Structure 1
Amino acid sequence: MREDVDHHIADALSRPALVRLDSHTLCLRFETMKVASALEAVRFLLERGTIAHGDTLVDSSSGIYAHALALACHRYGLHCHIVASTTVDATLRTQLEILGATVEPMPPSASLKLDQSRRVARVREILRDHPRHHWMRQYHDDVHYRGYRPIADLVREHVDCQHLTVVGGVGTGASTGALTTFLRETHPSVELAGVQPFDSVTFGSEHVHDPEIIIAGIGSSIPFGNVDHTLYDTVHWFGFDAALAGSVALLREHAIFAGLSAGAAYLAARWEQKLDPDRHVVVLAPDTGHRYVDAAYSRHAEAPDPADLAPLQISALADMDLPWSRMDWNRADAPMPAIAAAS
């Protein structure tokens, strides 16, 4: 008799729930999206002999990847060390510690930029002192793309890919970028709309400051080596207020409780679909909304009405502004600050 069961929770978490929002919009709702990339990356590195059972894997994280890597290490009998952002809350830290990971929190920081730079510097110190540790390099190694191939196969089963746009947070590139890469193997016309926060160097929004930015994980103050900018057709930049509006709308209209990046992606997807009503849209919701309750969802009464929001359409990065900007990226190369610092 066939046994359709998972033998580790990480296997189950690597697959999204597929939720039909309307006839042209599908939401891929994950509890912890990066389990898909971490699990397959670790499996591949073990198979290739780069790492071995009992080794210690190390990386820095603002939360989602920390959980994913801890689960992958638990699944495959590896040790895990996380240099944790100030955005990692007590609930997640407790889970990580019980899973067997060692968690090294960064001290409070005046900015996410300083926090991120400190984390990467600390990882380098750890590797200097423990050369046998393996740095997973979630920000730079495209091994993290591999886990999204099964998700692309899943999307093909449920969506018309002939006229499709994927919408979601850019992050390290190993989510929207990876998913679209595999979808384009059979359907080159698939379009990709990336979501970014302001204050991020990845797509050139570092000159626009959002004082309330807490959209963790989808932008960066440092260059990401595994973001392929030439995959993206469109980029949407969101501030806190617009992302909150999208998150509250996603929960109110569809009962999907997800993070701020999912709310931003939801608004972006609605806009892309409005521009082309015949287009099918896949929205990525990479995590739940629990860690955003105090800082965001508790302020739901203040959230703007999405009907009152529209992106500022720009043709040059210098023209972007809060609360929401949109640009036709047209699969162009990375902006110079990202390239120069990355090299």
Structure 2
Amino acid sequence: MNPQSQRDGKDRSPFSFFNRGRLMLIDKKGEALFSNYSSTLVSPKLIRLTPNLTVALFELMKLIPAKYTLLKALKEGKLNPDYPIIETSSGTYAQGLALVCRELDLPFIIISDPVIDPALQSRLVALGGKVQIIERSIDNLNIQTLRLQALRDYLFSHPQAFWPAQYDNPDNRHAYTPFADLLLENLRSPLTLIGAVGSGGSTCGTIERLREVNTDTRLIGVDTFGSVLFGLPAGKRKLRGLGNSLLPKNVIHSSFDEVHWVSAHCAYKALRELYSKTGLYCGPTTGAAFHVARWIANKNRDEEVVFIAPDSGHRYTHTVYSDRWIGEEGIDLNAPFPSPLHIDSLSEVGKEWAYFNWKRQPYEQVVNHHG
């Protein structure tokens, strides 16, 4: 028991999460009895939607890298439980991190910005966290840059705090090995994996393990306009939960066979269609991935296609799932979807839906030759 635990009378020992030197993302007391809530969220449900299209349905996918990173840091002595965990996030990574910190009784700080959902902010505080909101500066610097600068300023003053560094820490990718093994156990190989790209952890981490078994496994990334991840200029991103205004190290560009850019309208329409036809209640990031995945599956009926649904839709009840809101956004749910624009140069990208054959090339090679 550490000194702080002795002082406050709490046993904050993390060792129930370790078993013979291995990290236990799932901690169980019995076949159907879990030791904590986070253990119930690690494995997705695999659901067949069509003969060759499967969804990997998570309730809170970003909890996986948050939990893996914290447990590994505790095990290796890189994390002092008496000092805060600090991370920058405006979405589900913050939610997952908060839940794990609560279970381990670790203090945490989330640095975010005004786009954070007020209900999510309240939940973070209710779990014992502190939330710092960074407003845009006069010179209108990138908000993620400002968030990272605030985080680094805190670490400079509090060097014993721990930063999971979701964008650059390879533990983010390594956390998805069990998910990849689940796909290998239940689906035909090689398969085509389709997922929205933000930090790069889920897509690039999963494909690393899948290609250890079969190098023919394809990876299709889904991005949005205004995101810099795959060579487009930075801009306002209406569709949140994917894309980025920074280039995370966990985005391994040479892992991608194909990249699609999807507009917010396409993602919202696809999400509403997914719900009306299947009852799956997910977030807009899932809508973007589904929009691409069903097109790929329809084009290639002999191909095993699986797409990632990273979170539930409860944060979007009053927006994407509201007919009034959809109408105010000018979206006609009955209008046909646009056809995808196949581009040979990044400068040709359209406004609704475009795709590029990335061919597992490094970022610099694509941008220098096709930018």
Settle same-fold status: TM greater than 0.5: yes
Deviation at 1:2, TM superposition (A): 4.2
| Whole-Å separation in 1 of the counterparts to 2:340 and 2:184 | 30
In structure 1, what is the Cα distance between the partners aligned to 2:114 and 2:137? 7
User: How far apart are the structure 2 equivalents of 1:108 and 1:15?
Assistant: 37
Match of 1:125 in 2: 153
Shift, 1:194, TM fit: 0.3
Report the alpha carbon displacement of residue 295 of structure 1 after superposing the two structures with TM.
3.8
1:143-158 paired onto structure 2 within 5 Å:
143-158=171-186
User: Of residues 226, 241, 249 in structure 2, which corresponds to 1:217?
Assistant: 241
Amino acid at match of 1:311: P
Q: Which segment drifts farther, 222-231 or 112-121? A: 112-121
Which whole-Å CA distance do the structure 2 matches of 1:112 and 1:266 have between them? 34
Distance (Å, rounded) in 2 between the aligned partners of 1:290 and 1:112: 31
CA distance 1:175–1:110, change in 2 (3 Å):
farther
Q: In structure 1, how many angstroms separate the alpha carbons of the residues matched to 2:128 and 2:56?
A: 29
Note the aligned Cα RMSD (angstroms): 2.4
* TM-score, normalising length: structure 2: 0.84
The equivalences for 1:99-248 within 5 A come to 99-107=127-135, 114-162=142-190, 164-206=191-233, 209=235, 213-248=237-272
- Separation in structure 2 between the aligned mates of residue 124 and residue 52 of structure 1, nearest angstrom: 18
Q: Secondary structure at the match of 2:142?
A: helix
Of 337, 345, 348 in structure 2, the residue corresponding to residue 308 of structure 1 is 337
CA deviation string 1:63-116 (max 9, x = no partner): 111011111212223211100232221211111111111111223689997321
How far 1:290 moved relative to its partner? 2.6
Q: What's the secondary structure of 2:32's corresponding residue? A: coil
Deviation, structure 1 residue 237: 0.3
Find the structure with the greater CA-based Rg: 2
- The 8 Å contact of residues 200 and 251 in structure 2, kept in 1 or not, is answered as yes
1:167-201: CA deviation from partner (whole Å, max 9, x where unpaired): 11111110011111111111221100000011111
Q: Which amino acid aligns with 1:176?
A: T
Alpha carbons 1:169, 1:218 under 8 Å: kept: yes
**SS of the counterpart of 2:156?**
helix
Number of matched pairs: 335
Task: Indicate the residue corresponding to 1:43 in structure 2.
Answer: 71
Structure 1 residues 306, 284: closer, same or farther in 2, change over 3 A?
Answer: farther
Specify the code of the residue in structure 1 equivalent to 2:211. Answer: R
What aligned pairs does 1:257-336 form with structure 2 within 5 A after superposition? 257-298=281-322, 299-300=325-326, 302-305=331-334, 307-335=336-364
- Who is 1:256 aligned against? 280
User: Higher RCO, 1 or 2 (CA under 8 Å, sep at least 6)?
Assistant: 1
Report the AA paired with residue 142 of structure 1. P
Task: Give the letter for the 2:214 counterpart.
Answer: H
Structure 1 unaligned residues grouped into runs of 5+: none
* 3-state SS in 1 of match to 2:238: coil
Say which SS state the counterpart of residue 139 (structure 1) adopts.
coil
